[in-house]
Amino acid sequence: MTRRIMPRDVAAIPPIYNDLDAMDAHAWTLLARGANEARSLLHTPVLASIGLDGAPQARTVVLRAVDRAARQLRIHTDRRSPKFAELQHDPRVTLLAYDAAETLQVRLRGAASLHTGDALAHAAWVASAPSSRACYAQTEPPGSAIDCPGIAPPVPASESQAGYENFAVVLLSVTAIETLYLA
Ligand SMILES: Cc1cc2nc3c(=O)[nH]c(=O)nc-3n(C[C@H](O)[C@H](O)[C@H](O)COP(=O)(O)O)c2cc1C
């Protein structure tokens, strides 16, 4: 049985959604907006990885930068976090976001490369706000069990290197993009 697409349906779909190249470009435009605008829903996508036990794992991350020419995305994390070990073990990832304003789901697949203590990590660290750096100066590794939440650590001085040894850049090389537009 074939589904008949009525002219009314077709008219409701903006032409861009039937043009793969235009759609790819549009997805990268939205991703770039996500990296640059904190209010964009693509600013905080969900990064899925494969747990060390083989079960799926997912968490919200901040999309820090997008390199459309290289088809790469940049995320920051703590090398002590479970996700770092997971990505070391298996770099395959999925990144998922839904832009409600565009009614567009964007799902990426790719491979993660991890950077600590190199030029890339250093450049990202230097460009990070002191409030962001403070997360990496926590003495307890992310995910540690605690009796009760403590107070947030003091924000280090902007020139402080505290936490740099825990700071990691995750570069995602995108191998596939799927978009879903709900008309
Ligand atoms: C809005 C938001 C943004 C977040 N951004 C990041 C991030 O950029 N990097 C990161 O490692 N964790 C980020 N987190 C925390 C993760 O979602 C997750 O809870 C934490 O990193 C532990 O993940 P893991 O146990 O899978 O390693 C963010 C959480 C929220 C709610």
Of 40, 50, 61, the one to substitute when testing ligand 1's pocket (max ligand atoms within 8 A of C-beta) is 61
Q: Which amino acid is at 38?
A: A
pLDDT tens per residue, range 68-79: 999 999 999 999
Instruction: Name which residue sits closest to atom 19 of ligand 1, judged by CA.
Output: 59
* DSSP line for 117-154: SSHHHHHHHHHS-HHHHHHHT-SSPTT---SS--PPPP
Q: Which atom of ligand 1 is nearest to the CA of 49?
A: 26
User: How much is the pLDDT for 1?
Assistant: 47
pTM of the entire predicted model = 0.90
Rounded Cα distance between 77 and 29, Å, is 24
Task: State whether the beta carbon of 132 lies less than 6 angstroms from ligand 1.
Answer: no
User: How much is the pLDDT for 146?
Assistant: 80
C-alpha 22 to ligand 1 mean position (Å):
31
Rounded Cα distance between 137 and 87, Å, is 22
pLDDT tens per residue, range 142-171: 888 888 877 666 666 666 788 999 999 999
* DSSP line for 32-70: HHHHH-TTSGGGSPEEEEE-TTS-EEEEE----EEETTT
C-alpha 27 to ligand 1 mean position (Å):
23
